[in-house]
Structure 1
Amino acid sequence: MSDDRNGTEHTVHSLLLARAAAHPDTDLLVTPTERLTYQQAEQRSREMARRMLSASVGKNTRVGILFANTPDWIVGWLAATRIGALAIPVNTYQQAPELHRTLRHADIHLLLTTLRHLNHDYADRLDRIAPALAHSTAGRLFLPTLPHLRQIWTTRRGGPAWATVVDDIVVDAGVDDALLRAVESEVTPADPATVIYTSGSTTQPKGVIHSHGTLVRHSGRVGAQLHDFRRGDRIYTPNPFFWIGGLSSVLLAAMHAGATVLCEPKLDPPQTLRFLERERVTLYRGQAHARNALHNHPAFADHDLTSMRGWVHNTSLGMTETCGGHTAAGPRTDRTWSEGSFGTPLPGIEHRIVEVGGKKTLPDGEPGEICVRGEDLFVGMVKREQSEVVDTDGWYHTGDYGCFRDGELFFSGRIVDTIKASGMNVTPREVEIALESCAGVLQAVVVGVDHPDRGQDVAAAIVPDPGTDIDPDDILRRLRQQLSSYKLPRHLSVLSRDELPVFPNGKIDRTTLTRLLESSITGDAQHVA
């Protein structure tokens, strides 16, 4: 993407129109059962947008999108953003209480939803969180438990009486293409485009608001400078579009390149490998654990994947609040990256390192809290004043711990994950790196477990290389040569990859792991200190 501010591709709909004009017959999305070209995405989202306008949806109206990675998701999200509505992707994994919190916290007015996905029955969950639906019919809804929700639209027939079928919506005669163009012309880069809810790995999920300008600018930078997406690329991702890694870093980044995104209802290695081969996929973009599941499957070598030019797992540090990666150690550089480096800052985000709990800027090489600000930072959070989330100088304190050395960012872990062992701070990532340097250790996760006298003990879960036996005493001997004594794990558990608890986005569920290790300390876990 050119970063020329005199260009026109600074809103989502202008990006869509440009790509539909340039590459009308190129697939934007391919699933095992459906295809959506750029031209079809423009046409179908245009018709959906006209239906929304007829239903009095307009600028800043909050529209929920509850679909898997399908054409319906793309059409709904593009339709909402092109008329200035606030598109709010909803996590498809959510159970009824979580779904209720999202719909109510986001004040969603219109919900576009599938009724079922895999083993998820969303109609049943909606019935449970909104009992008044039992007495409602299609059209306007009035639900005390979801006071802002007025309509629920679905793209399939055969649903409950309260669901409005999209194809049954009559578009007002006055809502023609001329009116739509007039509405679109009032959508600017400064306007909010979407709310992305964080994964909630340490707190309740936060509703992070990004503008059109931020989404379009940053996704272009990530696609070009981190992933090296190119015209003609066919990019497979297991990342859901309801998280920033799927939306900004894959879908929108691919649109900048005129590339194709390929998705499945779920990753199933035998089926996925056949899908990759049949569709001549060129790049993988997703979490390492999913990539490893494919690489380690016995059938991997049986498939012709010569079309692949890379299993992209370029190093970057990012978060929802920065619209994805804010640093990059990507392929399009002649630079040799230092070991452990997360790269250099991407344009649009300014960095500084401050003392934890304070504002004093720390010198190069000294670790502290990573703070960010700039044009590609979020523009707000749902139901939070800006003064609650950024300091008086506009810096967002990320809660990440790290330092800069010679312009490269080194990430040590989350501050909230810091272990207080006998009064001394232990950074889990430092211990994990030491463990993973030991022969036979595929992956290590370190957490703090409560201790009545020491406050916390360092505990580690280790996933061994396939076919390898782990000797805890040998591991400890190696660690003593690398780490201070207070950083050594007092408890070591050997787990299989499947036993390691993870969130759907691939992040380690450290809360669940901590409980698991605490319960095993008096059982089979190895006491090694």
Structure 2
Amino acid sequence: MTAPADLQQMMQKVVLRLTGPGGRFEIVEEDVRGNRMQVMRNRDRRVGDLVAESRRWGDRDYIVTADRRISFVEHADAVAALATALRDDYGVGKGDRVAILAANTPEWIITFWATQCLGAITVGLNSWWTPAEIAYGAELVEPKVIVADAKRAAHLAAADVSGFTLLGIEEDVPRIVAERSGAELPSADVDEDDPAVILFTSGTSGRPKGALHSHRNLLAVVDYHRYSDALVAAMRQVPYDDSVPSDNRYLLASPLFHIASLHNLAVPRLATGSAVVMTEGAFDIDKVFSLIEQERVTNWGAVPTMAARMLEHENPGKYDLSSLTAFALASAPSSPALKQRLREKFTFADQALVDSYGLTECSTAVAVATAPELEAFPGTLGSPIITVSMEIRDPFGERVPDGTEGEVCVRSPYVMLGYWKDPAATDAAITADGWLRTGDYGTVENGRLRLTGRRSDLILRGGENVYPTEIEQRLDEHPDVVESAVIGVDDDDLGQEVAAVVVLRPTSTVTEDDLRSFCAERLAYYKVPTVWRITQDLLPRNATGKIVRRAVTV
């Protein structure tokens, strides 16, 4: 058996060979939007170029669902057809926004790539939003075209917004692809720091903010995944050549309007020649296990809620899950106890399970903890990934010593350009020298990150970010509500659930059901509180009048 010290020494040699001078993933320091930082020397500059390059993978599977199979060539042809129509028939060009409002489908991915080939900005609207939330998002980004499925098109109609062309996922996109068959793939002249994507993340102001990602951001994520594949191959002492397609098959089970599914799965797998095996409809663990077995899925990145569904399954042994060799937990905190239960119930989780820390503003993970690290250091989130600089800082922006708690700050080519049309929020989040203030708090011990608190008010429910302010603002609109406070409470299934303490007027007869229905009219279902305490006692406040959340209980 190889000793841990030997493995560490071997790893260091491999990393140096891959990232050192002349290496495939050589790291150099360059100016990025006015600040010096580490980047890969050998990199692409335009996201859309990946489509033309993907034709070399030929008839291999790119997108697979329970009843469809789309090869790389078929996908590239569809992208060329749709991009041509968006350009010629709907006037979409560089910098225009094309929004997608739909559940996961192959057409979602095809639309994304068509937009990128035009140098336009793809906007992933949250498919769980209510009409009011959709209206806000659409009015903020002002899309030239919205591509929506039938269910969300109905919500869009109820949102009463205008100024765009609506194309249907189920009928219009397939019709356009058929009509424009044989079209030449467009290509746009864009700079690597031009905007490419807007994905929404909740903000402490109570309104969702559009995180604006550049071509550099997305392509840096692609190279991170290529590098990770090369590192694994080297450690297994097998040849690696990124001109040869990868046989890995990745399960896509989270929404495409998240970085986990779009930036870190659909996009890089076009570049590596790997299959994306996509689930459609509501999450069903039996359907997922069946798809893993049928398609011999090798890699799955799950949120803790999905992991909880796995643990609840009475007889997972009836499915052949032996193809899974990589299993990651992400998007929400998960306890060491949950990880241990996974290891005990699922053979593949024993050596494959990894955990990570990331956020929408960073495009991908900030830090990753391997299976041995999770076992040796429970609760760790690992070390920063390649080209990420991470510091723990005090309230004055000064770096603190290892072991001291502070705010997690990062600088890397993955960090977003800023928030769309919100310069104040951008300036608050990104310093003049390019450091992102995550708003998360933690410590670094022996190079490994350990979080002590997610953004002070943030609730992470089943992988979804929920900020109390947005819900409190809705509750405060009710005529019988004096004030309210929304907090997260622990939940074994979802990680956290949304709880509300509501102070009512003395004469009010409003019930929990009334308040729940009132919230549901304007908030996505996952933001609607499920735990309530209705009272007439005023909430605890500090000397400046702010609610003391840590003193609020349900």
The normalised TM-score by structure 1 is 0.69
Residues 460 and 205 of structure 1: is their aligned pair in 2 closer, same or farther, counting only changes over 3 Å? Answer: closer
Q: Within the alignment, does 1:343 sit opposite 2:382 as a pair? A: yes
Q: Within the alignment, does 1:271 sit opposite 2:278 as a pair? A: no
Contact 1:51-1:170 within 8 A present in 2 as well: no
Contact 1:196-1:209 within 8 A present in 2 as well: yes
- Report 1:72-471 matches (<5 A): 72-115=107-150, 121-130=151-160, 145-146=161-162, 149-157=163-171, 167=176, 177=184, 181=186, 183-184=187-188, 186-199=189-202, 203-222=206-225, 224-225=227-228, 231-265=246-280, 266-313=282-329, 314-330=354-370, 338-356=377-395, 358-385=396-423, 386-417=426-457, 461=490, 463=492
2:414 alignment partner AA: D
Contact 1:401-1:412 within 8 A present in 2 as well: yes
Residues 308 and 518 of structure 1: is their aligned pair in 2 closer, same or farther, counting only changes over 3 Å? Answer: farther
Hey, what's the Cα distance between the residues in 2 that align with 1:201 and 1:35? 41
Higher relative contact order (CA 8 A, sep 6+): 2
- C-alpha displacement at 1:402, in angstroms? 0.5
Which residue number in structure 2 is paired with residue 52 of structure 1? 86
Hey, what's the Cα distance between the residues in 1 that align with 2:293 and 2:143? 40
- C-alpha displacement at 1:301, in angstroms? 1.2
Q: Per-residue CA shift, 1:94-130, capped at 9, x if unaligned?
A: 1211111111111111111221xxxxx2232222222
Hey, what's the Cα distance between the residues in 2 that align with 1:341 and 1:270? 31
Contact 2:210-2:419 within 8 A present in 1 as well: yes
Contact 2:367-2:381 within 8 A present in 1 as well: yes
Hey, what's the Cα distance between the residues in 2 that align with 1:362 and 1:511? 38
Hey, what's the Cα distance between the residues in 1 that align with 2:434 and 2:215? 20
Which residue number in structure 2 is paired with residue 42 of structure 1? 76
Contact 2:82-2:173 within 8 A present in 1 as well: no
Hey, what's the Cα distance between the residues in 2 that align with 1:77 and 1:457? 35
Hey, what's the Cα distance between the residues in 1 that align with 2:440 and 2:374? 25
Hey, what's the Cα distance between the residues in 2 that align with 1:66 and 1:337? 43
Q: Per-residue CA shift, 1:56-78, capped at 9, x if unaligned?
A: 21000000012322110111000
Hey, what's the Cα distance between the residues in 2 that align with 1:241 and 1:93? 12
Hey, what's the Cα distance between the residues in 1 that align with 2:55 and 2:193? 23
Partner of 2:444, secondary structure, is strand
Hey, what's the Cα distance between the residues in 1 that align with 2:170 and 2:227? 37
Q: 1:3 aligns with which of 14, 25, 29?
A: 25
- C-alpha displacement at 1:204, in angstroms? 2.2
1:154 alignment partner AA: G
Hey, what's the Cα distance between the residues in 2 that align with 1:91 and 1:458? 22
- C-alpha displacement at 1:403, in angstroms? 1.4
Partner of 1:411, secondary structure, is strand
- C-alpha displacement at 1:176, in angstroms? 6.3
Q: Per-residue CA shift, 1:299-348, capped at 9, x if unaligned?
A: 311112222223333221100000021111236x9998633221111123
Q: Structure 2: where are the runs of 5+ without partners? A: 1-17, 19-23, 27-39, 234-244, 330-353, 461-467, 469-484, 494-524, 536-552
1:198 alignment partner AA: T
Hey, what's the Cα distance between the residues in 1 that align with 2:70 and 2:488? 48
Contact 1:86-1:194 within 8 A present in 2 as well: yes
Q: Structure 1: where are the runs of 5+ without partners? A: 116-120, 131-144, 158-162, 419-427, 430-446, 448-455, 465-507, 520-527
Q: How many pairs does the alignment contain?
A: 413
Residues 228 and 127 of structure 1: is their aligned pair in 2 closer, same or farther, counting only changes over 3 Å? Answer: farther
Residues 295 and 219 of structure 1: is their aligned pair in 2 closer, same or farther, counting only changes over 3 Å? Answer: farther
Residues 168 and 26 of structure 1: is their aligned pair in 2 closer, same or farther, counting only changes over 3 Å? Answer: closer
Contact 1:365-1:404 within 8 A present in 2 as well: yes
Partner of 1:245, secondary structure, is coil
The normalised TM-score by structure 2 is 0.66
Hey, what's the Cα distance between the residues in 2 that align with 1:164 and 1:457? 41
Partner of 1:243, secondary structure, is coil
Q: 1:512 aligns with which of 529, 533, 538?
A: 529
Which residue number in structure 2 is paired with residue 483 of structure 1? none
Hey, what's the Cα distance between the residues in 2 that align with 1:383 and 1:459? 29
Hey, what's the Cα distance between the residues in 2 that align with 1:104 and 1:459? 30
- Identical counterparts, % of pairs: 23
Residues 207 and 274 of structure 1: is their aligned pair in 2 closer, same or farther, counting only changes over 3 Å? Answer: same
Residues 301 and 516 of structure 1: is their aligned pair in 2 closer, same or farther, counting only changes over 3 Å? Answer: farther
2:272 alignment partner AA: A
Hey, what's the Cα distance between the residues in 2 that align with 1:104 and 1:384? 14
- C-alpha displacement at 1:201, in angstroms? 8.6
Contact 2:125-2:137 within 8 A present in 1 as well: yes
Which residue number in structure 2 is paired with residue 499 of structure 1? none
Partner of 2:292, secondary structure, is helix
Hey, what's the Cα distance between the residues in 2 that align with 1:462 and 1:8? 43
1:318 alignment partner AA: G
Which residue number in structure 2 is paired with residue 453 of structure 1? none
Residues 391 and 19 of structure 1: is their aligned pair in 2 closer, same or farther, counting only changes over 3 Å? Answer: same
Hey, what's the Cα distance between the residues in 1 that align with 2:256 and 2:385? 22
Hey, what's the Cα distance between the residues in 1 that align with 2:178 and 2:319? 46
